[in-house]
Amino acid sequence: MKQTDYRLAAIMYTDIVGFSKMMGENEAETLNVLRTHNRILDEAVEACHGTVIKTIGDAYMVDFRNTVEALQCAVEVQEKIYEYNKQTGSYILLVRIGLHLGDIYFYEKDAFGDGINIAARLQSFAKPGCICFSQDVFNQVLNKVDFHAEKLGRVSLKNINKEIHAYEIETKNTEFDTENEKSDIENIVNKLYEMLSEGFFPWAAIVSFAWGIGLVSNFVEIFTEYKKSKELQTILPLNEEEFSLYLRIAKHRSDYIQHLCSTITIPLFLRFLHVLFSFSFPWHLIVTAVLVFGLIMNSINYIPKRTKYV
């Protein structure tokens, strides 16, 4: 295929949230929602001079002449859907939208290329009712379209090897999303990851890593204490009721630390390693050396504590 077959395009990719589940619950009502969705999309695309490349079930793939019209169309779609959601007495309509500027090529009434693949992945990455777009789109629409977007930083997209930095516009439709709200813990982890990715390294990394190691160390100590409780019963002057209370407290502490480790420390540590290995300077070697040294020192300090109960 010749290079001239490629052209630069602003691609919008949309998808209805939970469409398959809706079809399983009430097919007739869902088809009515789909008709409304298609009407909103068709009108907005035409108004913004876009061209529908194809539809795939409830998904739309649209080509625009420029990123300004693509973003304006995405915003208009979400606004019209919001008006529908306020009035509907049936299923709520939530749509994810992804935008990207990239090369595409056409083949037998279909289109292919990184521009489409990245737009589709950004759509999947977006929260329900939101618009997610790449740095390329942001650079083009800045100071041309009035919008407020949250900077997501570097994002990992399935089957996309390029480094993609993304932004997200949160629309009013998010108030109708009752099933996919992010927890406070997830927001904290994402914020720390953004700090790691956007130049606050190494301070945020060191603090978060030390915090994680502290939690793990505390968990190990509490877990060991809980396991040794049967031996402690013969040492501590506790009656049966007091010892039962001691066991419950130790278990609660252990469960709480384990919860923190699984929801915060582990995902943050994995993202931390991902950032470390993306730098040319061997930060990972330094951190590994510090970690090994800390584990050795902790083991040395731990041995006498165990011998007291033997």
Residues 131 and 28 in one domain: yes
Q: 69 or 230: whose pLDDT is higher?
A: 69
Q: Does residue 197 sit within a domain?
A: no
Average pLDDT (125-153) is 90
Mean pLDDT of 201-222: 58
Res. 15 pLDDT band, cuts 50 70 90:
very high
| Inter-residue long-range contacts of 179-188, CB under 8 Å, 24+ positions, other chains counted | 179/18, 180/17, 180/127, 180/128, 182/127, 185/263, 185/264, 188/264
pLDDT score, position 172 = 86
Mean pLDDT over 168-180 rounds to: 80
Q: 64 lies in which domain range?
A: 3-179
Q: Is residue 184 part of a domain?
A: no
Q: Is residue 198, in this structure, part of any structural domain at all?
A: no
Average model confidence (pLDDT) for the chain?
76
Residues 62 and 128 in one domain: yes
The answer to whether residues 137 and 238 belong to one domain is no
138 within domain boundaries: yes
> Are 141 and 207 within one domain?
no
Number of domains comprising the chain: 2
* Residue that finishes a domain, picked among 179, 213, 229: 179
Residues 164 and 223 in one domain: no
Residue 52 included in any domain: yes
Q: Is residue 187 part of a domain?
A: no
| Contact between 116 and 11 (Cβ < 8 Å) | yes
**296: pLDDT strictly greater than 80:** no
- Same domain (yes/no): 32, 127: yes
Average pLDDT score over residue span 223-240: 57
Span 72-118, pLDDT tens digits: 999 999 999 999 998 887 788 999 999 999 988 888 778 888 889 99
Residues 27 and 132 occupy one common structural domain: yes
Q: What is the band of 120 on the pLDDT scale with cuts at 50, 70, 90?
A: very high
For residues 240 and 146, state if they share a domain. no
Q: Give tens-digit pLDDT for 59-75.
A: 999 999 999 999 999 99
Is 191 part of a structural domain of the chain?
Answer: no
The pLDDT value recorded for residue 224 is 62
- The CB density around residue 260, as the number of other CB atoms within 10 Å, is 18
Average pLDDT over residues 239-246: 63
pTM to 2 decimal places = 0.59
Q: Is the model more confident about 284 or about 65?
A: 65
pLDDT band at 35 (very low <50, low <70, confident <90, very high): very high
Answer yes or no: do 51 and 169 share one domain.
yes
Strand partners, 59: 56
70 and 136 co-located in one domain: yes
What CATH number corresponds to the domain at position 34? 3.30.70.1230
Same domain? 71 vs 123: yes
pLDDT band at residue 292, thresholds of 50, 70 and 90?
low
- Domain identity same for 240 and 93: no
Is 189 contained in some domain? no
Q: Worst-scoring range by mean pLDDT, 81-90, 123-132, 136-145, 288-297? A: 288-297
